[in-house]
Structure 1
Amino acid sequence: MIFSGKLITVFEHQVLKLDQEVDGVKFDESKLKALQAFYGDKGVPYFSLVHKGVKFNENVGVLQVGNLTIEVLPKADKSENKKQWHEMLIGMLKAVGIFDIQAPSSSNLKLKTNSILDLYFALFLQEIEYLLHRGLVKRYRKTESNSTALKGSIQFAQHIQKNLVHQERFYVRHTTYDVQHQLHQILYKTLVLINRINTNPELQSKIGSLLLNFPEQLELKVTEAIFEKITYNRKTEGYRKAVDIAKLLLLNYHPDVSKGANYVLALMFDMNLLWERFVYVSLRKGLRVNKPDFTIASQTSKYFWQPEKGFRSKIIPDIVLNKDIPGCVVLDTKWKNLNGYNPSPDDLRQLYVYHEYYKAVKVALVYPGSTQNQTKGRYLHLDTGDKTEKECSVISLSVKENIVDWQSSIYSELANWITNT
């Protein structure tokens, strides 16, 4: 049965204290204890523990603790507009392909949900609806049963053990062709989980309908290894997105083993990784249309050090344009607002190495910010202290009102920097 859900919205790096009221909801002791238990001895990257509270880190998304959903939003400017940053976060996740779904009716999906978690649930349900409409894939499986009909092969040891009295029966092993298989067991388990933890009344009728129509499956113990072994073919390719969402939900669900009421479901994203990917796809999108002769690659690597024994070490810049050809450009993205200060020496040293190993004509550090600007700087000569030809730019990309304008602005600013000497 669905229970009433509550929503608290905070920004990254914000502290949430015991009994603090946010958005008309009080953060009570039971929820704090659940997060403390979730944090455990080893900790989690999403938040740190402070005195009678938690402090969120550079991870955004949702933490559902029992009937309380804590939505953690990014913040790259001075704006405190939660609605805007909620929309921007959803837009960034969609832009990088996290919300790219198979169902042909995806354009009709309503995004006006209470939290990103609701959106995940809605996407998963729509994927299941699509799979049921298309027809679930059947597979062959081996089954054993004590049957009155002789089909398959008799298992003599079990047959003698079970049927000394009931001689009209046969313990047989045979092949069955049906919808009872691992892919469906994963999806059904996810449906049951969503039915148990969903707090959005608008989704409940669809969840109930899908549970009635989806064939009941055998219980499956879900681990990371199960998902790693899944392979897709022509018939099952349409399952990929639903299974991806199921993996995210099932592996990040942490039940409360003591009381069972304040489970924790964590769907969080590292903003440094999300920002890197968002800049990459925004730049790639513009280059395809305006500069198709440019090549662009993300997370390309080069070896730069080798010990006498053991493995070599790599350098991995975030974005490389025209790799291994004259005019190579390297960009490294950082999710932080400099607020007028210089980049860290570590970041500047990193870009110097890219100059050397990629023979780049230009390198830059790319940050979000309140204003749009570019600052050029040159590396100094080791002996004389004079400026060298090696230049490193610092580019700040201001946040726009909507995701489309922001992506367009990112491309325009970076393309202008790339083409201007």
Structure 2
Amino acid sequence: MTSAQNIVVFEHDKHYFTEEQKRLKLDEVLENYYGDYSPFFKLIRNGVKFNQYVGVLKVGNTTIEVLPKADGNDKDTWRQLLIDMIKTVWGFEIKVSSSADLKLKSNSILDLYFELYTKELEYLLHRGLIKRYNKKEGNLYALKGALQFSKHLSQNLVHHERFYVKYSNYDVNHKIHCILYKALKLINKTNNKPDLNSRIGALLLNFPEMGDIKITESTFDNIVYDRKNHHYEKALQIARLLLLNYYPDVSQGRNNVLALMFDMNRLWEQFVYVVLKRELRVTDFKVKSQVSKEFWRSEAGTKSRMKPDIVLESRNNTIVLDTKWKNLYDNGPSSEDLRQMYAYHHYYKATKTALIYPGEEGKMIKGKYSPIEGNANASDNTCGIAFISTHTDIVIWKKNIISFIKENFFHVIEEG
């Protein structure tokens, strides 16, 4: 694939390949990397249909952006909103590494990560790279560390001036910097924006060259943060996202795939949770996410648990919110969702429950469960259908979320 292409679609859209894309064999590349199944999309006749995942797929020189869709706004608007949602969830709004404002030269999701990563590495170099003790072994002309007797004998029978030793060295050549260097080389290979090329090139010149290491999930899970390296966390988060979602083309080396995709249902849940967690300041009031409870156990010990998206707790009240990224239109919520909320009432002793949807206008539709015969109290359980209005300005959208929750739920907490 030699010429650069840019495809922009909404979630659940279908895209039919153009003659140029067929010539570039885009369909074959996608099928080779994902087979007959991918959580991100499925191949159809002469095209591809995208699922609920949003983000960016970079296939060779072709960039496919999949954007969320909840109202009548255009692609440019939703691209910026998606970028702002990701920045909010990942905490990029908090300038932990620099007081300078982040000014993206291009409004693309991939450029966001490349710009953020470049900025983080520039900051780390300016601050000074940390040193670590790392173990090495080899033939030296001086006795240093512990002599490895068997290897010393086998390699130095005729070199009495040498010693095969294992020793510790205190320098910048350690695992964390190997990870960062590998991610830097990755963005150098995949970046197509001229305005970032010079900055990436400067980083490659100034960052010490590191050896290549194999990267897996455990590589990042085993990193221990302390007072000396806590300022590395943001850069390592982005490096993790880039390196674990990069699939090099081992056969031809041209059609590498970088997939930075997010389940929109999960992103919406995290976005609402982070906004509530950061912005709500109420005495004796907590915002929790994914509070798990057991609700079934077999005689063999098999367990089943329930886990609502967001739980609001005060001293006397519990409110359970489940977020849903979909347009209801006139269909109403599914019976499965309503039954799930009914279970939350009982297991979490919830005062109120609500399903939270994005909408063009904010409104709350109140609903009450039908009483069970012989149990009149069941009718006291309610489940609201909440529509929080989206907005082209992310700041106003966040304010809409906060004001909606306060107006529709705080009186319950205050009465308690």
TM-score, structure 2 length as denominator? 0.92
Aligned match for 1:394, one of 379, 385, 389: 385
Identity among equivalent pairs (%): 52
Which amino acid is 1:302 matched to?
A: K
Are 1:252 and 2:245 matched, yes or no?
yes
Give 1:114 deviation, angstroms.
4.3
- The match for 2:359 is 369
Paired residue total: 410
Deviation track 1:215-256 (CA, whole Å, cap 9, x = no partner) reads 111110111121111111111111111111111111100112
Comparing 381-390 with 307-316, which one deviates more in the overlay?
381-390
Are 1:34 and 1:263, in contact at CA under 8 Å, matched by a contact in 2?
Answer: no
Which amino acid is 1:246 matched to?
A: A
- The match for 1:208 is 201
Q: Distance in 1 between matches of 2:108 and 2:258?
A: 13
Are 2:353 and 2:384, in contact at CA under 8 Å, matched by a contact in 1?
Answer: yes
Q: Distance in 2 between matches of 1:390 and 1:114?
A: 46
Aligned match for 2:64, one of 62, 70, 77: 70
Q: Distance in 2 between matches of 1:287 and 1:338?
A: 28
C-alpha distance 329-12 of structure 1, shift in aligned 2 (>3 A): same
Give 1:44 deviation, angstroms.
2.2
Give 1:134 deviation, angstroms.
1.3
Deviation track 1:263-312 (CA, whole Å, cap 9, x = no partner) reads 11001111111111111222334421xx3443221111222112112243
Aligned match for 2:323, one of 308, 320, 333: 333
Comparing 69-78 with 376-385, which one deviates more in the overlay?
376-385
- The match for 1:60 is 54
SS of equivalent to 1:199: coil
SS of equivalent to 2:64: strand
- The match for 1:284 is 277
Unaligned runs of 5+ in 2: none
Are 1:64 and 1:266, in contact at CA under 8 Å, matched by a contact in 2?
Answer: yes
Deviation track 1:304-328 (CA, whole Å, cap 9, x = no partner) reads 11211224322111111126x4332
Q: 1:24-173, aligned counterparts within 5 Å?
A: 26=21, 29-41=24-36, 43-79=37-73, 81-99=74-92, 104-105=97-98, 107-173=100-166
Q: 1:280-359, aligned counterparts within 5 Å?
A: 280-288=273-281, 291-322=282-313, 325-359=315-349
Aligned match for 2:173, one of 169, 176, 180: 180
Q: Distance in 2 between matches of 1:108 and 1:27?
A: 41
- The match for 1:381 is 371
Deviation track 1:47-106 (CA, whole Å, cap 9, x = no partner) reads 112112211111111110011111111010122x11111111111112222535665425
Are 1:102 and 1:127, in contact at CA under 8 Å, matched by a contact in 2?
Answer: no
Are 1:19 and 1:29, in contact at CA under 8 Å, matched by a contact in 2?
Answer: no
Q: 1:188-267, aligned counterparts within 5 Å?
A: 188-267=181-260
Comparing 10-19 with 382-391, which one deviates more in the overlay?
382-391
Which amino acid is 1:299 matched to?
A: Q
Give 1:420 deviation, angstroms.
5.2
C-alpha distance 320-384 of structure 1, shift in aligned 2 (>3 A): same
Which amino acid is 2:12 matched to?
A: H
TM-score, structure 1 length as denominator? 0.91
Are 1:144 and 1:173, in contact at CA under 8 Å, matched by a contact in 2?
Answer: yes
Which amino acid is 1:36 matched to?
A: E
Q: Distance in 2 between matches of 1:5 and 1:15?
A: 21
Which amino acid is 1:14 matched to?
A: D
Q: Please, what is the CA RMSD of the aligned residues?
A: 2.3
SS of equivalent to 1:397: strand
Unaligned runs of 5+ in 1: none
Give 1:11 deviation, angstroms.
0.7
Q: Distance in 2 between matches of 1:125 and 1:346?
A: 45
C-alpha distance 132-223 of structure 1, shift in aligned 2 (>3 A): same
Which amino acid is 2:177 matched to?
A: H
Are 1:366 and 1:397, in contact at CA under 8 Å, matched by a contact in 2?
Answer: yes
C-alpha distance 279-28 of structure 1, shift in aligned 2 (>3 A): farther
SS of equivalent to 1:310: coil
Q: Distance in 1 between matches of 2:89 and 2:286?
A: 19
C-alpha distance 102-151 of structure 1, shift in aligned 2 (>3 A): farther
